[in-house]
Chains A and B, each alone.
Chain A
Amino acid sequence: MSKSNEDNPKLNRRRFLQGTGALAIGTASVAAAVSTQAASVDRACKTPGCDYDVVVIGGGFAGAAASRDCCENGYKTLLLEARNRLGGRALTADFDGHEVELGGTWIHWTQPFVWAEKERYNLAVKETPGAVSDRILVHDAGKTREMTEADFDGVLSAFGELVAEARDILPQPFDIRFNLPRVLEAEKLSAMDRLNQLDLNPVQRVAMESLCSSSSNGPAEHCGYIDLLRWTALAGYGDYLLMMDSGARFKLKKGTLNLIQAMMDDGKPEVRLSTPVKKVEDLGDKVRITTNRGMTITAGAVICTVPMNVLPAIEFSPALDKRLVKAAEIGHTGVGVKLYIKCRGKQGNINCIARQSHPLPMVFTYAEGEDHTLLCCFANDPQAIDYYDELAVQTALRDYLPDVEVDSVILYDWVLDPYSKGTWALYRPGWIREYLDVFGKDMGRILFGTGDHGEGWRGFIDGAIGGGIRAAERAKTMLG
């Protein structure tokens, strides 16, 4: 049977559903739980001759924050999302009775934007046990042993040395231009280059490699040293425990999507799901948006929040700077895997670390059940093993836990997803010199608010919310 968009009556119904934003109603599971039923407060459009004052492209945290704020600023706002759910690179799923976050997860009070939202909507947090583990297992050169207190003191010392320049180079980590000459000098190095400058014992080396590759979700050679310093500067300048807390300890108790829902309920923007955007044209007095299915919409301003690696999939007029296209083709550092492993028995509250060449260089306890343990893992090379194969994962995990039996695994492939093409964004060495002028730079009425760029905690949920909020402020300035 052949089908086409034109003669398929079901597709016509789908178009209708898209137009009303009603597709979210049927999605009852955790994975797509954000409802848009409360949407569409009837606001008049202030911009002459336009369908909307603001169209926000991308329904992750950046888009949710931007659309909420635009609504609060009194603008008739439409949020367009390519997938059939909101959340972007955050996705909550039920895995054998455990609620797991397959994408962005952890937040912390050192992260001003997301913590303000947590407080604003009175959302509770839940601790991930493995961030403060009872035991740390170190695997190196074919052997595994438990980290001693003396080892741990050595790790703290190594971390302090690794990021010792953070305060000097980034005295104002939310303003990367503040000390730009030093920044540009430092960013010539990768995190691995910096690691190789240090004289570390094997345990220190394993701990730092595991940390660097997990932080960048890719090989440490790809991660700019300056991004390691940035994260460090934002989390207490070399305070190892605070850095771990900021990255992997506290998550929203009812799931990350709970915060997106709160934003939607608050702002009540109009939402259209399953609506990828094909073209965005700045016409001078307005912007015209064309969707993949041929619908055209006009707005006074567009806030584009799509991930940097996806940006060239949309045709812009005027065209995107070639450097943005080049950066997207190279891609940010986030090419790795975040994996949950359900294994039998009580494995305890553990943290397992290895060099980045290991298939599971960072493993920690996410939840403990009566007869099983749920482990969260980060790996920087998706080709290292078949991460969908329980047996392959079990073999790798047995380097730490020799008798462990793996029941099942779950992950989401953000790199293959055409609407993300990667996990979280850290910059490669030299990217600030190459791209600082174009990353996130607005083009007339087309504003950019992705969490992949911008100051502070870019690459985190906090950075995404900050990017969206800042873009909404610029829209307000533009539209009046």
Chain B
Amino acid sequence: MKLATIVIAAATTLIPIEAWADCDAQTGKQVYNKCVACHALEPGVHLMGPSLHGLFGRTAGDLEGFVYSGAMTNASFIWDQQTFGLFMEDPMQYLPGTTMPFAGIRKPEQREALGCYLAGLDDID
């Protein structure tokens, strides 16, 4: 990870966790069931998709040991509450060329709950 990325990641990591402090992690855990076939939560465990451990603050397509689509490899955004929400609403529209075959989570509260759940896991670590 380049130095600039580390700085940005450090600056943004706290934001989503604070913003999601009072959200519905239990619902988020339930929503995560939609992801479970392709994404593990354990660090370094990659299925069809990369591990979601430590997602927030990470640069998209930058996780060691996982081969991303060309679109995700070339993406430069950082995963935070906003980018996560936009991506999960319609992944293939937000990032054309992604090979993640998912139509998206239509309900904003479900996207929020999923992000909250994932951010909460990071927080525990």
Which one of A6-14, A280-288, A301-309, A346-354 is at the interface?
A6-14
B-contacting residues, A340-390, CB 8 Å: 382, 386, 388-390
Contact B101 A412 (CB under 8 A): yes
CB of A2 within 8 Å of the partner chain: yes
Least distance between B108 CB and chain A CB atoms (Å): 12
Contact B37 A410 (CB under 8 A): yes
Give chain B residues whose Cβ lies under 8 Å from the Cβ of A31. Answer: 37-38, 47-48
Give chain A residues whose Cβ lies under 8 Å from the Cβ of B73. Answer: 3, 5, 8, 11
Give chain A residues whose Cβ lies under 8 Å from the Cβ of B83. Answer: none
Contact A388 B105 (CB under 8 A): yes
CB of A102 within 8 Å of the partner chain: yes
Which one of A89-97, A244-252, A255-263 is at the interface?
A89-97
Give chain A residues whose Cβ lies under 8 Å from the Cβ of B102. Answer: 413, 416
Give chain A residues whose Cβ lies under 8 Å from the Cβ of B59. Answer: 1
Contact of A1 among B2, B38, B99, B106 (CB under 8 A): B2
Knowing A11-B73, A412-B101 are in contact, say whether A389-B62 is a contact too (CB < 8 A): no
Mark each residue of chain A from 398 to 411: 1 if its CB lies under 8 Å from any CB of chain B, else 0.
00000000011111
Give chain B residues whose Cβ lies under 8 Å from the Cβ of A23. Answer: 67
Mark each residue of chain A from 1 to 36: 1 if its CB lies under 8 Å from any CB of chain B, else 0.
111110010110110011000010011110110000
Least distance between A104 CB and chain B CB atoms (Å): 14
Contact B30 A407 (CB under 8 A): yes
Give chain B residues whose Cβ lies under 8 Å from the Cβ of A11. Answer: 73
Knowing A32-B48, A94-B36, A102-B37 are in contact, say whether A389-B30 is a contact too (CB < 8 A): no
User: How many Å lie between the Cα of A18 and that of B45 in the bound state?
Assistant: 17
Mark each residue of chain B from 1 to 22: 1 if its CB lies under 8 Å from any CB of chain A, else 0.
0101100100000000000000
User: How many Å lie between the Cα of A333 and that of B71 in the bound state?
Assistant: 29
Contact A413 B103 (CB under 8 A): yes
CB of A196 within 8 Å of the partner chain: no
Knowing A3-B61, A3-B74, A390-B30 are in contact, say whether A418-B67 is a contact too (CB < 8 A): no
Least distance between B14 CB and chain A CB atoms (Å): 20
CB of A317 within 8 Å of the partner chain: no
Contact B101 A413 (CB under 8 A): yes
Give chain A residues whose Cβ lies under 8 Å from the Cβ of B5. Answer: 1
Contact B34 A416 (CB under 8 A): no
CB of A419 within 8 Å of the partner chain: yes
User: How many Å lie between the Cα of A102 and that of B48 in the bound state?
Assistant: 13
Main secondary structure of the interface of A (DSSP, over half): loop
Least distance between A408 CB and chain B CB atoms (Å): 4
A-contacting residues, B65-89, CB 8 Å: 65-67, 70, 73-74, 76
Least distance between A260 CB and chain B CB atoms (Å): 15
A-B contacts, CB under 8 A, total: 103
Least distance between B68 CB and chain A CB atoms (Å): 9
CB of B64 within 8 Å of the partner chain: yes
User: How many Å lie between the Cα of A30 and that of B23 in the bound state?
Assistant: 31
Give chain B residues whose Cβ lies under 8 Å from the Cβ of A28. Answer: 45
Knowing A1-B4, A27-B47, A102-B37 are in contact, say whether A388-B74 is a contact too (CB < 8 A): no
User: How many Å lie between the Cα of A2 and that of B74 in the bound state?
Assistant: 7
CB of A157 within 8 Å of the partner chain: no
Give chain B residues whose Cβ lies under 8 Å from the Cβ of A94. Answer: 36
User: How many Å lie between the Cα of A419 and that of B48 in the bound state?
Assistant: 12
Contact of B67 among A2, A3, A18, A390 (CB under 8 A): A18
User: How many Å lie between the Cα of A16 and that of B3 in the bound state?
Assistant: 24
Give chain A residues whose Cβ lies under 8 Å from the Cβ of B40. Answer: 29
User: How many Å lie between the Cα of A130 and that of B107 in the bound state?
Assistant: 32
Q: Which of B36, B64, B107 has the most CB of A within 10 A?
A: B36
User: How many Å lie between the Cα of A274 and that of B50 in the bound state?
Assistant: 13
CB of A424 within 8 Å of the partner chain: no
CB of B92 within 8 Å of the partner chain: yes
Least distance between B30 CB and chain A CB atoms (Å): 5
User: How many Å lie between the Cα of A3 and that of B105 in the bound state?
Assistant: 28
User: How many Å lie between the Cα of A414 and that of B99 in the bound state?
Assistant: 11
Give chain A residues whose Cβ lies under 8 Å from the Cβ of B62. Answer: 1, 3, 10
Contact A2 B76 (CB under 8 A): yes
Contact A83 B30 (CB under 8 A): no
CB of B53 within 8 Å of the partner chain: no
Give chain B residues whose Cβ lies under 8 Å from the Cβ of A32. Answer: 46-48
The chain A residue with its CB closest to the CB of B37 is: A93
A-contacting residues, B101-123, CB 8 Å: 101-103, 105-107, 110
Listed by A's residue number, 20 A-B pairs whose Cβ atoms lie within 8 Å are A1-B2, A5-B73, A10-B64, A13-B64, A17-B67, A26-B65, A29-B40, A32-B46, A84-B48, A85-B48, A91-B37, A95-B36, A96-B33, A382-B103, A408-B33, A409-B34, A410-B33, A412-B38, A416-B101, A417-B101
- Can you name 15 extra interface pairs (CB under 8 A) apart from A8-B73, A388-B34? A1-B76, A2-B74, A2-B76, A17-B67, A83-B48, A85-B47, A91-B48, A94-B36, A273-B67, A292-B70, A408-B30, A413-B103, A416-B102, A418-B101, A419-B99
Which residues does B use to contact A, with CB under 8 Å? Answer: 2, 4-5, 8, 30, 33-34, 36-38, 40, 44-48, 59, 61-62, 64-67, 70, 73-74, 76, 92, 99, 101-103, 105-107, 110
* 9 tightest Cβ-Cβ pairs between the two chains A and B: A417-B101, A93-B37, A416-B101, A274-B67, A408-B33, A31-B47, A413-B101, A32-B47, A14-B67
